[in-house]
Structure 1
């Protein structure tokens, strides 16, 4: 099966040349001309590698890379830019880019770097498998247990230890309605004899942090029962 490469490049002529060269080499390709469209296409389909321009309308390439790396580390990303700017290179690599090329570039060199990045991908995937048990994700919310990093749509969220344990329990049980008693047992422990209202208080705390600035709240109340982590269904 042919490897699939997504080209996110606003200059249509350059994107078309890249597409023709890559398809001649046997790759399947997709093209997006804005950062937003590229991010949507990346999330909708499976890709083996991204060619990502920095200077893009809407979301620039660094913003796109940051959002991708907030939840996914396996897909190789090669950054493209017309500027020979060291700061951009450092920022891109720090955000998780695998390689960097400055325009104009020789297509043979780009193809060689693509082959190198794709050869390295199986090693990254093996490492990722070892880390999967520590990484939890629901929609655009993610938690990494080893680093205790909590992010939503690329935005870092600071939680207290108790808030973290509560959100971790919710994300480990997505779409499951959890009673206050279940939450108390899992987060506060079986020997907790306080008021179950403490769950409501902490749910309110993490809602303020997790759902802040998001159009789609993820922590839902089930009246008379408890809480569930799921997307809100808008009834007509």
Structure 2
């Protein structure tokens, strides 16, 4: 595998991070899908898992781990900048300070829930996708993509909803919210799976070789192994 970082890999890394940051803003609004109430972030956040699958499939788990940590750093940076912008006094003629703060200011509990959910779900998705690739010798991409998303999105939803709302929302409703979000996000993956497969095949041709992890250890803290 080439050591240099390709422009296509950079593009997917940027797309992954953009989806993450956009979803954090959209998640402030609660929408209904049928009879289910879910954060509006569900309309874009699953795309980050699809991109994660593509990165693992083409460039391997180590590169996916690197992108996940970059996304984490950008999440922290954006939240710091949001808070700084809120604290800076507004111009006398600007009257939207309260609305601005309402949209961009998360409580410490929500912020912690977002970070923990993102890290646990993203790493689980990438690790399972990559491990299954080794076990299947690169076959059964569709099955690997769906199962890794099911576990990753399930873990993400469980961690976020538990940390953010336990003690506030009844346990039964929390469980329903976790199941609903996991179902919707996994269904999203299944619906767009033909597009994902098409993208993987196109990128493989562009990159000329596929990354294949033969020795994967679940240690997300080794940033130098990319």
Which structure shows the bigger proportion of residues in helix conformation? 2
Larger radius of gyration: 1
With normalisation by structure 1, the TM-score equals 0.27
Which structure shows the bigger proportion of residues in strand conformation? 1
With normalisation by structure 2, the TM-score equals 0.28
